[in-house]
Copies of this chain bind each other. A is one copy, B any other.
């Protein structure tokens, strides 16, 4: 590669030298054909200008080659092609990494949110859940929760496990309950067995008293069964 480079510049130099003799030739030639001094001056200006343009373009190309790794050939066209491929590769990487970063951030906010308290959760953004639920008709069939257990795991985590009937959108409705209580879902799990659904949901505990949260959850989920009755475990 280095020697190719050397050859490249040697060629450049060589042809630059060659240019001068050529230039003399053309100059005398022009002098004979059209003796107008202004015209020949303009022509030589054009020549030197064009020479500078080519030089600048080659320098740019050389600089482009410098910022692009993995240059296969020293070809002008190949340099540009490699640059194009490299830019596209960078674009793909950028997209991937952006997705990864946003995912990391979202997961981190779900995860435990230690010091910085849910900054962008101030408004209960009823986002996708309720939208999909609206289209499906959330009011239609009650969920029929059969068993419900709310327990604490460590200081920061609440585990809710419940069984309910096999309906569609049961998990969505459960999640809506937690959302309405400002409880963040860490992870959730559905298991189907004997015509029932067993759900296990890990929640991030907020600052409230444990028992208060527990009662709130039980009340809200029990309300899914019969919105009129205040509750009955």
Chain A interface residues (CB < 8 Å from chain B): 53, 56-57, 60-61, 63-64, 67-68, 76-77, 80-81, 83-84, 86-88, 90-91, 93-94, 96-98, 100-101, 103-105, 107-108, 111-112, 114-115, 128-129, 132, 151, 153-154, 159, 187, 189, 191, 193-195, 198, 200, 202
Q: Distance (Å) between the CB of A176 and the closest chain B CB?
A: 21
* Other A-B pairs, 13, CB within 8 Å; known A94-B97, A97-B101, A153-B159: A60-B84, A61-B80, A64-B80, A64-B87, A68-B87, A83-B83, A94-B94, A96-B128, A100-B101, A101-B101, A101-B104, A112-B114, A151-B154
Q: With the chains together, A157 CA to B210 CA distance in Å?
A: 19
Main secondary structure of the interface of A (DSSP, over half): helix
Whether A191 and B200, one on each chain, are in contact in the complex, defined by CB atoms closer than 8 angstroms, is: no
- The verdict on A194 contacting B61 (CB below 8 Å), with A86-B87, A114-B114 known, is no
